[in-house]
Each structure stands twice: as structure tokens, then as C-alpha cells.
Structure 1
Amino acid sequence: MLQTAPHLAFGYHQNDAGNRVYLIKELDRITGQGHSAISVDDTLKIIACREQQKKLSALQMELAAAQQEGFTSNHLLETNKAPRKRPLVVIGVLTRFGRKNNRDAIRKAWMGTGEALKKMEDQKGIIARFVIGRSANHGDSLDRAIDSENKKTNDFMILENHVEKPEELPKKTKLFFAYASEKWEAEFYAKVNDDVYVNIDALGNALAAHLDKPRAYIGCMKSGEVFSEQGQKWYEPDWWKFGDKKAYFRHASGELFVISQALAKFISINRSILRTYAHDDVSAGSWFIGLDVKHVDERSFCCSSWSSGAVCAGV
């Protein structure tokens, strides 16, 4: 059986190579005929194409050498395989230390464990993980308890570089979307609180109706007052940014909201400069306010209580 060289897992396209060579020759011809100075764009094209040609030549040599040793390309090996179906949604259940009872209740109610969790992934295309950071005292009993629980259940996404604090929830939400989009190539990514029960079938049906929206932000949309007095439960330190009437822009309620892959990738790429506010739902809404995003006010995502056709319920 042929082996696969790990560093040769790429698809080689002869047309692409030919196009690059042609473009290089054309640009060299233009510059060699005494024409007026070429534009900056053309200069950059020359540089980029020559760099690509060098890389391509090196890869061709590497491929030829590897094939002589019995290696072949993953692309060739996989041509007869059915394409792997993309997951529908990755659900991040944001949890905290001391909330094992909540997690166990969720496992029993809708998430499942072991084979049931895997079956949900394979048959429904729904991946669910509990999301948690690390203790400020890295490696202490809190961390060890989570590691022990995860060893038994294997259903955590542990954010190793995030310190678990209530006031850091907006940053935690941002990191979940960033890391989840890097780990799984899904259609959607959902943030859920660990005191919310999800109707998995209803969620799947609701999201399937929005597959045609490449930049969808789906949730129970709301606005509301910005609290400017310290000591208030929902105090917002940056209250002054929201105008004289101090009202939040439209955003999805934080119990459960979903974003499409393009938006999750946007968060991943720009996470170092995306501003967070006091609350994670407001923060997420702020990231999309200036983008060409479809805000979907999905009332079945309002999690106050169960109702006919509801996707979720808060407890």
C-alpha cells in the first residue's frame, strides 16, 4: 500500500502552473520592449508570480522525489472517496467552575455523552462542547477538577490562555468563536449558556432555513437601556459611547445566538482588535454593526420559557 508524505498533501493543478508561467513571460516581455515604466500593480504581480513559480518548482521536485520512494498525494488517494459533509453547527456551552450539576443536567437533557454525543455529531451534524478557561492559579484544584471531568466525558473545549472570570465572559465568547472556527469547518457556530436547554431538532430545522445567508447573525433580537451608574447589576463602563439616550443597538440575547461561518472567521482573524463591552451579547452585536450582515430576529431563540416550536428554554 502506498504511503502518504505528510508534507505533500496538496492538489497540483497544471493549469494554475501554466497561467503563472504565462503571466511571468508576458510581464517580462512588456518590461523588455522598452515600454514606459510599469505600474506598481504590475511590479507586485511580477514579484508575486516569481515567488509562486519558485515555490511551485520546489514542490514539483519534492513530489517527484517522494513518488520515487512510494509516496503519493492525499489528493490522489482521496479522489475516489465521498466528500466529507460539513457539520451544521458547533455549539459552545459556556460554563464555569462549580457548575458540574448544570453540565450533568445538560448532558442528560439534550447533549448526551459518549456514543450519544458522537451520534449527534455523525447523524445530525451538530457538535457540542462545554467551553471553559483556566484558573487564575493555573493547575490548582479547580483546573484539576475540570481535567478529571473531561477525561471521563471528553466534551470540553478548554481555553488554555483564558483566565476564567465572570467579567471576562465577553472575551471568552470571542475566543470560543475564534477557536471553534479554526477547529471545525461548520456552517454555523452557536453560543449557549449552561443554564439553557436546547431542542436539538428544532435548532437544526431553524438553521437549515438560513443556509442561504452567508453572513447570518441569528437570535432573539433586542435592544434596551444602557446603565451608567456604578453598582447597578448591568452597569456599562462605556455607557457614554451609546449616545444621549443611552440605548443599545440591536443585538441577539445572550442565552443563545448563532453566527454563520463567515462571521466566525471574521472574529478569528480580527480577535485581537475587536472591542468587548461589559456583556457578551452586546459585544457580539458590536462586532457586526458595521458589516454587511443579515440580522435574523428568530423568536424561537427567545429562551425565557418553553413554547410551541421553541428552540431553547432557560432554567
Structure 2
Amino acid sequence: MQSRGSSNKLSSMIARTRISSLLLSMFATFASIYVAGRLWQDAQTRVRLIKELDRITGYGKSAISVDDTLKIIACREQRKKLLELEMQLAAAGQEGFKSKGSTDTDDKDPKKRPLVVIGILTRFGRKNNRDAIRKAWMGTGAALKKRENEKGIITRFVIGRSANRGDSLDQDIDSENKQTNDFFILDHHMEAPKEFPNKAKLFFAYAVDKWDAEYYAKVNDDVYVNIDSLGATLATHLDKPRVYIGCMKSGDVFSEPGHKWYEPDWWKFGDKKLYFRHASGEMYVISRALAKFISINRSILRTYAHDDVSAGSWFLGLDVKYLNEGKFCCSSWSSGLSSLSLSFTHTHTCIKWSTCSQASKYSC
């Protein structure tokens, strides 16, 4: 009996062991199937993702060979050089260098740069001076336009606006300009005696933005100019890119407040109180490069009490060619028109407009 009971227990244990092994085997099989399925699913997902990426990037059709890679690099280098050349061409265009074959699409003849833009700085209440200049040497209407087209000499009266914007002073200028069309109005400049140097600066800055000329000249509204001789004189200096032309001087700096030429900043000019070299204010001419320099730096270029000194200060330290042109000096003239190249009538150093009789006023 004891032996039979033991045998039954042993058989029962073996049966349970076989069942456990079978269950374990089944669990292992199912686990293997599950893991394999997940791996297969992940692999399929990766394949789909790779194909989709290839489709989006455009590299799925074929691999890029070494030759193709070199060609792409060469194309990129050529494109880079082309962009650099385009930038250089744009910069050259800004500096005024153009191809000899370039033409104006509206004209049959090649586009020519004006020789000079003359700004006659005038003020309110000076219409008689302006009329005298129009009659004497500037011209009006068709004559003015003809000289611009044929000789490349642009002449404009330069004036700002009244402190009381839109008052009778502004209205008179606007009315005069409608009749003559020969003003260059500085809308953002207020006319005032102390603002004259700043007015000269703004003329050069705005004129070079409006007209791409070889030269820019500042002239007072009581000065006579021989246009043809001025053009001939300037044409001889076209080979000088940074030129400053005028009657050069470096006179005393007056520190007495009551003096007509008083300089509030006299202490900045050294113990000897002498101005640096600069052109006399009746008339002076600068080249395009210097006018662009003024335009770019207009906000930081300081002014002194007088426009001629201010202009001279702007070019200190620059590589500028100073030309002391005696023909620009009013003191070189006797009464009447001279046979020399340029003639002036200036209030202080040359013949006054008022000294001419009414009959000969415009030939004085």
C-alpha cells in the first residue's frame, strides 16, 4: 500500500512537470512570435519612412556619383562668382562707371552724365537778384532746358522753407517756381541766417541723390558766372576723382562777437587762430565722389559759422585734390566784364549789382 501511494505521488509530480514545461514552451513560442512580429513591423515602418524621405528630398531614384557631386560644387562656385560680379557691377553703377555700350532706352544716343549741377543759394526777398541772374547768365524756359541737354549744365536756385510753414514767404516761392521751374526747394530745411552752412551741406547731399553729375557747384545769388568758360575749366579736371576747386584761402579767425565774420568756435582753430585751407564762399566746386561723401555722412558732418569754412572742414583728412583756381577769385576782376574765363559780381569783393545803372544792369 505504501509503495503504491508513493508511485501515485511520483506520477502526479511528473504530470505536473510536463504540463509546466508545455506551458513554458507555449509561452516562449508566443513571445518569440510577438517579438518577431514587432521587429518585422518596425522594419516595415522604417522602410516606408526611408522611401517617403527619398521621395521628398528627390534622392530616391538614384545615388549621386562622385562626378555629379563635383559638378554640383562647380555650379555652386560659378553661382557664387556670378553673384559677386553682380554686386560689383551694382557698386560700379552707384559710382558712375557704366559700359561704353550702355544706352538710355528712351533715347537713341548714349546716356550722358551731366557735367555740373550749379546750386545758387538764395533767400526770401531776393527775387530781384534771381531775376537778374536769369537775365544775365542762367536763362529761363527753353534756353535753360537746352543748356541742360546740350551742355550738361544744370542750374537751380536753392532755398528752404519758412519757419512758419506755408506762410506768404513759402507761397511766393511756390508761385515763382510755377512760373520759372528753376528752384531746388529743400522742404526739410528752415531758412535762417545761422542755417546757411547747413543749407549748403543739404544742397550737396540732396543734389547728388537727384542728379548723377560729374561736379556740384555752390554759388551765391549775387555772383555772375560765365557758363561756357566754367564748363571748359571743369572739363580739364575730369581725370581727378576727388577734387575741390575754388579760390583757396586760410585767413584769420575772428573771435570778437561783434565782428561781421565772428566765429563762435574760434578756440578750435589753434593759438594762431587761422582757418585751415578752404575755398572762398562766393563759388566753389566739388566732384561727385566728395558730394557722395557729404550725402552719406550728412548727419555727422559738423558746420561752423560760415558755409565755406564748413565745406573745407568736411574734406580734412581725406585724399582730396585741392585746386586753387584764380579764375574763381572775385578779387581778380576789375569793373566790367573781363576777358578771363569767369566773371563774378559779389556784394563785397567784386562789382555790386546795385552799382549798375538800370539800363545796363543785366550786362554789368
Give the alignment's TM-score, normalised by structure 1: 0.76
Which residue of 72, 76, 82 corresponds with 1:21? 76
Q: Give the CA deviation at 1:25.
A: 8.0
CA distance in 2, matches of 1:259, 1:77: 26
Q: Is the 8 Å Cα contact of residues 134 and 162 (structure 1) preserved in structure 2?
A: yes
CA distance in 1, matches of 2:217, 2:231: 11
Check 1:135–1:82 CA distance in 2 against 1; reply closer, same or farther (3 A cut): same
Which residue of 113, 133, 136 corresponds with 1:106? 133
The two structures, once aligned, show a CA RMSD in angstroms of 2.4
Which residue of 286, 296, 299 corresponds with 2:313? 286
Matched residue type, 2:309: V
Q: Give the CA deviation at 1:220.
A: 0.6
Q: Give the CA deviation at 1:221.
A: 0.6
Which residue of the partner structure matches residue 220 of structure 1? 247
Q: Give the CA deviation at 1:77.
A: 8.9
Q: Is the 8 Å Cα contact of residues 228 and 239 (structure 1) preserved in structure 2?
A: yes
Which residue of 260, 268, 281 corresponds with 2:295? 268
Which residue of 315, 322, 340 corresponds with 1:309? 340
Aligned length in residues: 253
Which residue of the partner structure matches residue 97 of structure 1? 124
Which residue of the partner structure matches residue 236 of structure 1? 263
Q: Give the CA deviation at 1:93.
A: 0.2
CA distance in 2, matches of 1:168, 1:77: 39
Q: Is the 8 Å Cα contact of residues 174 and 271 (structure 1) preserved in structure 2?
A: yes
Q: Give the CA deviation at 1:238.
A: 0.7
Which residue of the partner structure matches residue 172 of structure 1? 199
Which residue of 127, 138, 144 corresponds with 1:117? 144
Query: Is 2:242 the counterpart of 1:187?
Result: no
Which residue of 182, 203, 216 corresponds with 1:155? 182
Check 1:20–1:84 CA distance in 2 against 1; reply closer, same or farther (3 A cut): farther
Check 1:98–1:25 CA distance in 2 against 1; reply closer, same or farther (3 A cut): closer
Check 1:120–1:19 CA distance in 2 against 1; reply closer, same or farther (3 A cut): farther
Q: Is the 8 Å Cα contact of residues 301 and 310 (structure 1) preserved in structure 2?
A: no
- Bigger fraction of residues in strand: 1
Which residue of the partner structure matches residue 60 of structure 2? none
Matched residue type, 2:339: S
Check 1:276–1:25 CA distance in 2 against 1; reply closer, same or farther (3 A cut): closer
Which residue of the partner structure matches residue 249 of structure 1? 276
CA distance in 1, matches of 2:175, 2:106: 41
Q: Give the CA deviation at 1:232.
A: 1.0
| Higher RCO (CA-CA < 8 Å; seq separation 6+) | 1
Which residue of the partner structure matches residue 138 of structure 1? 165
CA distance in 1, matches of 2:256, 2:103: 64
Instruction: Give structure 1 stretches of 5+ with no counterpart.
Output: 1-17, 27-47, 53-74
Matched residue type, 1:298: E
Identity of aligned residues (%): 73
Q: Is the 8 Å Cα contact of residues 178 and 268 (structure 1) preserved in structure 2?
A: yes
Which residue of the partner structure matches residue 357 of structure 2? none
Matched residue type, 2:269: F
CA distance in 2, matches of 1:170, 1:291: 20
Q: Give the CA deviation at 1:210.
A: 0.6
CA distance in 1, matches of 2:263, 2:186: 26
CA distance in 2, matches of 1:202, 1:131: 22
Q: Deviations for 1:128-178, whole angstroms, at most 9, x for unmatched residues?
A: 000000000000000000000000000000000000011111000000000
Q: What secondary structure does 1:161 align onto?
A: strand
- Bigger fraction of residues in helix: 2
CA distance in 2, matches of 1:260, 1:247: 26
Structure 1 stretches of at least 4 aligned residues deviating more than 6 Å after TM superposition: 23-26
CA distance in 1, matches of 2:154, 2:289: 18
Q: Is the 8 Å Cα contact of residues 93 and 191 (structure 1) preserved in structure 2?
A: yes
Check 1:24–1:152 CA distance in 2 against 1; reply closer, same or farther (3 A cut): closer
Q: Give the CA deviation at 1:308.
A: 3.2
Q: Give the CA deviation at 1:84.
A: 0.7
Check 1:105–1:19 CA distance in 2 against 1; reply closer, same or farther (3 A cut): farther
Q: Give the CA deviation at 1:76.
A: 10
Instruction: Give structure 2 stretches of 5+ with no counterpart.
Output: 1-72, 88-101, 346-351, 353-364
